Amino acid sequence: MNAAEFKTGYVSIVGRPNVGKSTLLNHLVKQKISITSRKPQTTRHRIHGILTDTQSQFIFVDTPGFQTRYRSELNQAMNRVVMQTLHGVDVIIFVIEAGKFDRQDEAVLERLPTDRPVMLVINKIDLQADKLQLLPFMQEMADRFNFVEMIPVSALQNELLIELIEAIRNYLPVSPPLFGGDDITDRSERFLAAELLREKIFRQIGQEIPYSVSVIIEQFTVEGNLRRIHACILVDRPNQKAIIIGKQGKKMKEMATQARKDMETLFGGKVYLEVWVKVKTGWADDGNVLKNLGYE
């Protein structure tokens, strides 16, 4: 491979909540760096997942789902982040579910820029019993927007992901790599620690509490191969605090243990994790808290 032909570019994955954006990103970069759960709206921050092979470097930008229904300050900040992301990428991957195209999908599609390549990824084809039905659906989608490619995949079952990667490669500009070959993310360990803990909360008690739960890492220190992490779980109401803590602190202990194990695997060292729960009424509309969470 001639170094002058190496390609590097930014790829943004967009779509309404729950279409499988995080799963797709995880399977593309083959490392668990974004979080998935059955509840929508679990990805609040941009995450870069990086895939480097012998010919190219794909820098994936995961975006939070577009918020079209609720208009809190947090949602507007999230939409701003999405728009900033989209204007700085080389290829946009618009993800939908096989056979489904609803108002929320439409709202995302309407917001996509028209001055850069948009590829349609039709995910969850494993759920479509009759694959032939995909053809009229693809035709319908082609009539809606001028996609540069339409690729049916199953992110969960790794189906057709190689074809997707090859299609994306065609749209990356010639450039040397921007990140070292081993980097999987440019996000700090601090951020990843918060994401891992948040994932455990959603998985364990996603049904019992609304999405208004956030995790802040108050302290993160590295001593040799040991990381000391103090995390704070921010909830809206006292009853949510009780749910998270559980009987005799059992739920909380379970979640913290699982999160700590994941952190140890990801960081490759021992982790000492301390977790607190705090009630912060109306945090979703509080500008100061938004700043702490990384939205300005």
Ligand X SMILES: Nc1nc2c(ncn2[C@@H]2O[C@H](COP(=O)(O)OP(=O)(O)OP(=O)(O)O)[C@@H](O)[C@H]2O)c(=O)[nH]1
| Binding site members | 15-22, 62-66, 123-126
- Name the 3-class secondary structure at 194: helix
- Please report, as ranges, the residues that interact with ligand X according to CB under 6 A: 15, 17-23, 36-38, 40-43, 65, 123-124, 126-127, 154-156
For the CB of residue 259, give the shortest distance to ligand X in the complex, in Å: 17
For the CB of residue 111, give the shortest distance to ligand X in the complex, in Å: 15
For the CB of residue 150, give the shortest distance to ligand X in the complex, in Å: 16
> From the annotation, which residues make up the binding site for GTP?
15-22, 62-66, 123-126
- Name the 3-class secondary structure at 75: helix
**C-beta closer to ligand X: residue 8 or 26:** 26
For the CB of residue 26, give the shortest distance to ligand X in the complex, in Å: 8
- Give the span between the Cα atoms of 17 and 54, in whole angstroms: 33
Of 216, 217, 207, give the one whose Cα is nearest residue 240.
Answer: 207
- Give the span between the Cα atoms of 12 and 14, in whole angstroms: 6
**C-beta closer to ligand X: residue 40 or 99:** 40
**C-beta closer to ligand X: residue 38 or 80:** 38
**C-beta closer to ligand X: residue 80 or 253:** 80
What is the signed CA dihedral for 279, 283, 288, 292, rounded to 10 degrees? 70
- Which value, in Å, is the radius of gyration of the alpha carbons in the chain? 20
By beta carbon distance, the residue nearest ligand X is 20
Instruction: Note whether 47 and 24 are within 8 A (CB).
Output: no
Would you state the structure tokens that stand for residue 82, as one six-digit string?
């999405």
